[in-house]
Amino acid sequence: MARKTTRSTAQKKRTARKTQEAASFKQIKPVFRTGTWATLLLLAVLIGVTYYMNREEDGEDIDALPTSEIAFVFDQDRTVAGIEITPADGETVKVVRNAENTWVLKLPDDAEADQGLVEAAASQLTALRIISEVDADLKILGLDKPAYIIIIEFTDGEKHTLEIGENTPSNSGYYVRLDRKKTLIVALGGIESLINLVIFPPRLYTPTPTSLPATPTPDSPPDEAPAPEITVTPSP
């Protein structure tokens, strides 16, 4: 009889323990409810949309089509024979190679050109690096009314036109249009070297020698005093 009582007591204890565990389990609530997950998901979507809109407003990569490898506007093996730059506001500057392969200034006036400055600009032309191609409204890129129009002539007689628009928001390049067909983002340095030809026309300035009075040396004879004037009085 005692054994049955003991078993019954033990069974009651086990039942009571299970009941207590079940009650404790019911009291445990999930950390994140369904509503919380929905709120977090909505917040993530809002952050993504805000980031995308900010990039659109910056205009940094307006429909930019990045090139897969380094590309240049012109063939680097070509030789520039003439550069003509017309600003939207200002005088046109034109330099050409003459028969002696020397750079001369043709506009705004005829003059001998600074060979170093012009040759540096010509080298930049054949090294103009394409950052990316662009497909966007010309007005947004400042190409509806270009700030500069550059006409480049090569020694083989071929000519090309570059229209220069706004620089990019990150100031890493310029929006340009090649031959009124292809719109590009071109590296900043090369374009600025060309623009400098307009700001500072590459005239060759030669110093004008000035005449200085001769400095006497110890061995040089002293200047002779002028002979006194002799007045001859005729005798009566």
H helix or E strand, kind and range, residue 41: helix 34-58
Residue 174 sits at φ, ψ, to 5 deg, of -120, 150
pLDDT at 165: 96
**Percent of the chain scoring above 70 in pLDDT:** 58
Lowest mean pLDDT segment, chosen from 45-54, 101-110, 157-166: 45-54
Q: Is the pLDDT of residue 214 over 90?
A: no
Among the ranges 13-17, 61-65, 74-78, which has the highest mean pLDDT value? 74-78
Q: Is the pLDDT of residue 179 over 90?
A: yes
How far is 147 from 149, CA to CA, in rounded Å?
Answer: 7
How far is 171 from 151, CA to CA, in rounded Å?
Answer: 24
pLDDT at 231: 54
Q: Which residue has the higher pLDDT, 211 or 75?
A: 75
Q: Helices 188-199 and 115-126 meet at what angle, rounded to 10?
A: 150
pLDDT at 60: 45
How far is 173 from 96, CA to CA, in rounded Å?
Answer: 27
How far is 96 from 155, CA to CA, in rounded Å?
Answer: 10
pTM above 0.75, yes or no: no
Cis peptide before 108 (omega within 30 of 0): yes
Q: Is the pLDDT of residue 106 over 50?
A: yes
